[in-house]
Structure 1
Amino acid sequence: MVRPGGRSARVQQSVHAAVNELVAEVGRDALTVPMIAARGGVTPSTIYRRWGDLRELLSDVAVEHLRPDSEPADLGSLGADLGAWAEQFLDEMGSAVGRTYIRDALLGDQDGTNASRCSDYAAEQIVIMLDRAVARGETVPPVETVIDQVVAPMMYRILFRPSVLDTAYARRLVDSCLRGAS
């Protein structure tokens, strides 16, 4: 069992930092496990033992980049909160960098663990907004409804139709979802 903190956490932190630094310096396509290991202060065998291969390591790093930094803004109503969150989500995930992280997260995800983690990140953010709305006395849809009607269509467009993305699209999805809840 992996201990929280300790050597395992230090190895993960140094290897993730090495990946991020090297991507900035030489680009993602030039990365090699020996290069990352040397920068991270570990042996290549440590990377292979922990992550399996470069694809799985890049997937792990991508998932960490996709983790939200903070709670969604409290703007006074579910419509405002969810609308602002959806716009930000679309902007961040729909950027070239965001799409690369999404693809990396899924590419090295043999068992679906990383996809579940990313889905959980979005669900956790939505639950925060829904709980605040309930505390204000608002009618709210179930979290899975928000995922199905707001997050899922945005992810489809981000991955397969990025040329037709705009904040108005995000707002329309939110408005439609909330109309169905009332």
Structure 2
Amino acid sequence: MNDKTAPRPGGRSARVQTAVHSAVREIQKKFEHERLTVPSIAARAGVNPTTIYRRWGTLDSLLADVALERMQPEQIPEDFGNLHDDLANWMEAFIDEMASDPGRAMLREVLGTQGHACTGKCDNYIRQQIEVITKRADDRREKSLAVDEVVQFIVAPLMYRMLFSDETSKEKEIESLIRTTISNTE
């Protein structure tokens, strides 16, 4: 039995998503945000606007989906030999990316959408990266942290500061949060 409701990997669904995402990114590079409309995106992507509405529902949902695609990690965090250095290097790269103009725009798009689907995916991407780091620490038999501890005591304060005070955390602040979190869990 063939389930026609499940998306096929590759196939037309993937081609439509790729074309629409590419169209959004092209328009974002060339024009002001006001020029981003479903009809303009559909025309550039070579699809009918109803295809976009049927798949994404709203322009905001589409923009959040494009932003999420950019947020999805392309590689696993680099191994620096110990939990502290792995976390410090990953956090510095993550905060640098999120604090950049494109990173902040992406965060606004994701956080500005209705519902939990987009923010839930962001959380999953971050947690997947942290799981790699904490599993390495476990495999090396060093003191590790739970993913929730890293999110609550390291990621959350840094993101809060960046989102609500427009500050970018310095290496020293990242270092302090990591050291405090590791020492408080021992």
Calculate the TM-score normalised by the size of structure 1. 0.94
Q: Secondary structure at the match of 2:78?
A: coil
Counterpart Cα distance in 2 of 1:165 and 1:27: 29
Change (3 A) 1:167 1:38: same
Counterpart Cα distance in 1 of 2:79 and 2:153: 21
Specify every segment of 5 or more residues in structure 1 that has no aligned partner in the other structure, as ranges: none
Calculate the TM-score normalised by the size of structure 2. 0.92
Q: Alpha-carbon deviation of 1:5?
A: 2.2
Q: Alpha-carbon deviation of 1:32?
A: 1.1
Q: Which residue of 2 aligns with 1:90?
A: 95
Q: Which residue of 2 aligns with 1:154?
A: 158
- 1:23 equivalenced with 2:28 (yes/no): yes
Change (3 A) 1:39 1:89: same
**Counterpart amino acid of residue 94 in structure 1:** A
> Which one is further off, 51-60 or 22-31?
22-31
Counterpart Cα distance in 2 of 1:145 and 1:132: 16
Matches within 5 A, 1:16-165: 16-108=21-113, 110-163=114-167, 165=169
Counterpart Cα distance in 2 of 1:11 and 1:164: 37
Percent identity of equivalent pairs:
43
- 1:173 equivalenced with 2:177 (yes/no): yes
**Counterpart amino acid of residue 36 in structure 1:** I
- 1:2 equivalenced with 2:7 (yes/no): yes
Q: Deviations over 1:150-174 (max 9, x none)?
A: 1111111121012353222222211
Counterpart Cα distance in 1 of 2:112 and 2:80: 36
Specify every segment of 5 or more residues in structure 2 that has no aligned partner in the other structure, as ranges: 1-5
Counterpart Cα distance in 1 of 2:99 and 2:161: 8
Counterpart Cα distance in 2 of 1:97 and 1:164: 14
Q: Is the Cα contact below 8 Å between 2:95 and 2:168 reproduced in 1? A: no
Q: Is the Cα contact below 8 Å between 2:99 and 2:168 reproduced in 1? A: no
Q: Is the Cα contact below 8 Å between 1:90 and 1:167 reproduced in 2? A: no
**Counterpart amino acid of residue 140 in structure 1:** S
**Counterpart amino acid of residue 46 in structure 2:** G
- 1:12 equivalenced with 2:17 (yes/no): yes
Q: Alpha-carbon deviation of 1:111?
A: 2.1
Q: Deviations over 1:75-103 (max 9, x none)?
A: 00000000001111111111221111011
